[in-house]
Chains A and B, each alone.
Chain A
Amino acid sequence: MNKFARWSLTLPATIAVVLLLVIPVVLTIATTFGEAGGPFSTYAAFFKSGFRMAVLYRTLQIALITTGISLVVGFITAYVIAQMPGRLKSIMIVAAVFPLLTGVVVRSFAWLIILGKNGIINNVLMSVGLISEPLSMLYTQGSVIVAMVYLFVPLMILTLVGVLEGIPRDLIEAATSLGARPIPTFLQVILPLAAPGLIVGAVLVFTGSFTSYATPQLLGGEKQMMMGTFLYQRAMVTFDWVGASTIAAIMVVITIGVVLIMSRMARRLNPMAV
């Protein structure tokens, strides 16, 4: 086959990505530099505005807390799954995959029923007599984080089960037979070998929660506005397209920055890499 034929197979997909993704996104970002007040005026306005910075900080904070909790919860669960005998392991993986394949709207909606004014938690607490007035748990940072952790723990588990299963049993046995106690074995053998997987999981969860839309929309409302809901509001409610494009540009820079830095770190940390 000649050179052109080889290229031509990748051509339709290449054209599609360039025409429908790269150019639209680059053009969107480009419009933020064409303002009358100078090329960086919209960014200066963004970083000077207390409200907009609060949205950015809140988004970073929620994404970081979600990532941290998901890492701990996901790692322990994946560790347990990896130790299970075949049958039980498959059942546990199915149980983790099922929520993952269920849509984000459905999974966020469940937390409206649980945390709402007439929700399950309030009903239980009131019938037990612990509280007399329903607590308002929705539209708080906590409600957004709970729903986000719920959203991303399955992803973390699935990422880590594969990684933990790949750790050769001999290595752990060698450490144990040489007298290493469980905690040093964990810290010095298992954790370093799992580090690249932990980084991949952390990147997936951080970027996913940093850019999420449906969950903060449903569980955070106006009070807990995040970058995703802020972008939508600017674009479709106030029709401030330059403002929306500025938010989009900041989101792209942070997401791609995190991915690049972390994937470099993962490569450096991988003790199995040649």
Chain B
Amino acid sequence: MATRIHPLLGAFAILVFFFLLAPLVIIVGAALSDTTFLTFPPQGLTLRWFANIFQIEAFRRTAITSLQVAILGTGLSLLIGIPAAYALNRYRVELPRWLSTLFVLPILVPEIVFGFALLKSITIGLGLPVFISLVVGHALLILPYSVRVVGASLASFDFSIEEAARSLGCPPLKTFMTVVLPNIRAGVIAAFILAFITSINDVSVSVFLTGPGISTLPIQILAHMEQFFDPTIASVSVLLMLVTVGVMAIVEATLGLTFLTK
């Protein structure tokens, strides 16, 4: 679809983009301000608030926890999600329909309810360590991405290639690793990225699963904000935005960003 657009609509869209991007520019400006309070436009330029992040032990510790949880959680969700996505596409006729509904439940159930339920049953009920609960909670939260996004690229995979390999004597696992997996590479990368970003930014589940000594970066930022309102928070936010920029660069290089609208 392509027609000419009314100048008023164009102007409106420009305003929307201003609305979407200006707050992020403001954060960058506030992070560079040489004042002890948050302000924009910055008064004087300094990088000391970035240096300050590394001096605050809680930020260092929680950033490491966040990365560990995101990597382990994403890995775990792909490990159980890819076989499920494969089976759902390969044996679509034989498998019951409710199975694919089951795998989107983590999106359907409100995150904050899921977090609370996990706290009650896993952390307190079963006495699992906080870190394990976090990894498991995140893995489950992002499972729908693994199943759906990998599933979308399996849907366009021609399974007769796989059958050819199998009938020529290639064992099942080797067939999967050398024939199927390279063909759904884009889907796996996309799932990994979406899952990783979701995990690293999560608040609603993590807020229940952080215990003494263990917390994730977004939760630590929230806690810090309650006590201090200085540019350190802005500079941590800038660092998190840089992670997003990095991820987007990876997406652009591997898949092209337009895949996100598909």
Do A and B belong to a common assembly? yes
Q: Footprint of B on A, CB under 8 Å?
A: 1, 3, 6-7, 9-10, 12-14, 16-18, 20-25, 27-28, 73, 76-77, 79-83, 90, 92-99, 101-107, 109-114, 116, 118, 120, 123, 150, 153-154, 158, 161-162, 164-165, 167-169, 171-172, 176, 182, 190, 207, 210-214, 217-218, 228, 231-232, 235-236, 241, 244-245, 248, 251-252, 255-256, 259
Cross-chain pairs A/B with CB under 8 angstroms, 17 sampled: A10-B99, A13-B103, A17-B103, A20-B122, A24-B114, A24-B121, A76-B9, A77-B12, A83-B3, A92-B13, A93-B261, A95-B20, A123-B39, A190-B1, A213-B203, A214-B218, A248-B110
Instruction: Please determine whether A83 and B2 come into contact, CB atoms closer than 8 angstroms.
Output: yes
Instruction: Please determine whether B113 and A113 come into contact, CB atoms closer than 8 angstroms.
Output: no
Residues in B whose Cβ lies below 8 Å from that of A102: 24, 201, 240-241, 244
Other-chain contact of A81, B13, B30, B87, B137 (Cβ < 8 Å)? B13
Separation of A120 and B116 alpha carbons in the complex (Å): 36
Residues in A whose Cβ lies below 8 Å from that of B37: 118
Task: Give the 8 A-B residue pairs with the shortest CB-CB distance, closest first.
Answer: A103-B201, A110-B23, A211-B110, A9-B87, A24-B117, A24-B121, A80-B13, A13-B84
Residues in A whose Cβ lies below 8 Å from that of B12: 76-77, 80
Does B158 interact with chain A (Cβ within 8 Å)? no
Given A14-B84, A24-B122, also A1-B172 (CB < 8 A): yes
Residues in A whose Cβ lies below 8 Å from that of B248: 94, 97-98, 101
The interface centre, meaning the residue of A16, A76, A169 with most chain B CB atoms within 10 A of its CB, is A16
Nearest-CB residue, chain A, relative to B4 = A83
Given A16-B139, A169-B2, also A235-B20 (CB < 8 A): no
Separation of A72 and B171 alpha carbons in the complex (Å): 54
Residues in A whose Cβ lies below 8 Å from that of B140: 16-17, 20-21
User: Within B1-28, which residues are at the interface with A (CB < 8 Å)?
Assistant: 1-6, 9-10, 12-13, 16-17, 19-21, 23-24, 26-27
Instruction: Please determine whether B112 and A211 come into contact, CB atoms closer than 8 angstroms.
Output: yes
Instruction: Please determine whether A172 and B1 come into contact, CB atoms closer than 8 angstroms.
Output: yes
Instruction: Please determine whether B10 and A13 come into contact, CB atoms closer than 8 angstroms.
Output: no
